[in-house]
A = this chain, B = another copy of it.
Amino acid sequence: MIAPESLPTLPPVLDYAGVTVFALTGALAAARDRHDIITFWFFAVVTGVGGGTLRDLLIGAPVFWVNDATYLGIGLAAALAVWFLSRYLERAKTLIWLDAVGLAAYAVIGAAKALAFGVGPLVSVAMGVLTACFGGVIRDVLAVQPSALLKREITISAALLAAGGFVALNAIGVPALWAGVLGAVAGFGLRAGAIHYGWALPAFGAKRG
């Protein structure tokens, strides 16, 4: 378990990081559709805070960004960064890799906050997975794109490995920071392998193809 006294220092830094990564993916989605800068900002904020908002509503926590305008500034910074720098980026590739980082990070962050609010370990893992996956789902629904979840690649499994690894390591006494880093790295590694090498679990029906 995460000691309650570690709670006050936990959320801000981690949530800033997770929001930044997902905000960039939101702004990149807006760029793909050639929106204006205000719409970039909207997509950046909604995508950035969406996953954590769902987590907070589910566990009954005050929604993390409602009392801290910093998150809106992060969204604006992400929108401006994509607006001015994206000509130097291959957008689709950048989006998929940032999404992988966000997935792994948010899976751990979501599970950690759930644990810190007294949610049991199994449900905390689920909370991490939902938190990690819904940021991208909200972005894709808003952009009317097929969700990244539905590519027949490993995505949810990577979030499950990250969140599950963190919660399991933490339960056997590994300090929260190390458990989180190891979980996120494992989840990111699995997702990276899926992106780069096409790793996949057996798909339903494949055995009968």
Binding site for B on A (CB under 8 A): 30-31, 33-40, 42, 45-46, 53, 57-60, 62-63, 65-69, 72, 83, 86-87, 119-120, 122-123, 126-127, 129-130, 133, 137, 141-144, 146-147, 149-150, 152, 154, 156-157, 160, 200-206, 208
Q: When chains A and B are docked, how far (Å) is the Cα of A133 from the Cα of B30? A: 16
Q: Given A72-B126, A122-B72, A126-B72, is A144 in contact with B150 using a C-beta cutoff of 8 Å? A: yes
Most chain B C-beta atoms within 10 Å of own C-beta, residue among A36, A120, A129, A144: A36
A150: which of B31, B33, B87, B137 is its contact (CB, 8 Å)? B33
Q: Are A201 and B37 in contact, CB atoms less than 8 angstroms apart?
A: yes
Can you give 18 A-B contacts (C-beta < 8 A)?
A34-B152, A35-B152, A35-B203, A37-B204, A38-B201, A39-B156, A42-B133, A45-B126, A46-B130, A60-B62, A66-B119, A67-B120, A69-B123, A72-B126, A86-B204, A137-B142, A143-B150, A144-B150
Interface of chain A, main secondary structure = helix
> Which B residues touch A156, using CB under 8 A?
38-39, 42
Q: Given A39-B156, A119-B67, A142-B149, is A204 in contact with B83 using a C-beta cutoff of 8 Å? A: yes
For the complex formed by this chain, how many copies does it contain in all? 3
Q: Given A62-B60, A150-B144, is A69 in contact with B120 using a C-beta cutoff of 8 Å? A: yes
A147: which of B34, B72, B144, B201 is its contact (CB, 8 Å)? B144
